[in-house]
Structures are given as structure tokens and as C-alpha cells.
Amino acid sequence: MMTKKEIEEMVQEEIKRLSVGSPEFLQTHNEIMSDIEKAKEGLGESKRQTEAGPDL
């Protein structure tokens, strides 16, 4: 089991590795969030078609 200090150190290493807060990180984050929203919209359309009835 990891100690609290080990976990905190691991988190800090990952923050540095991922460059959290950098313009590149934020751009990638925004692109991912946009893709998620597009996927949700697509699922919403499929759900409406499914709920309309099996005969469509």
C-alpha cells in the first residue's frame, strides 16, 4: 500500500509529465471535451430513433 506522501509525489510527477496548465494541455483538453459533446449528441439522436419504435 502506498503512503500518502508517495501518492502526493506520484501526483506531482504526473502533473509535470502531462504539463498540466500549459497551453498545449489546455488545447488537448478542449479538443477532448468537444469530441465528448459531439459523441453525446450522436448518442442522443440514436436514442431518439430507438425510442421512436422498432418498426422504423
Which of the pair, 22 or 48, is modelled with greater confidence?
22
| Banded pLDDT at 17 (limits 50, 70, 90) | very high
Q: If DSSP codes are grouped into helix, strand and coil, which group holds residue 40?
A: helix
What mean pLDDT is predicted for residues 2-6?
97
Give the long-range contacts of residues 2-11, CB within 8 A, separation 24 or more.
none
Q: Among positive and negative, which fits the CA dihedral 9, 10, 13, 19?
A: negative
**Residues above pLDDT 90, as percent of the chain:** 71
Contact 18, 25 (CB under 8 A): yes
Q: What is the mean pLDDT of the chain?
A: 87
The reply to whether the predicted model has a pTM over 0.85 is: no
* Amino acid letter for position 38: K
Give the span between the Cα atoms of 39 and 42, in whole angstroms.
Answer: 5
| Banded pLDDT at 55 (limits 50, 70, 90) | low
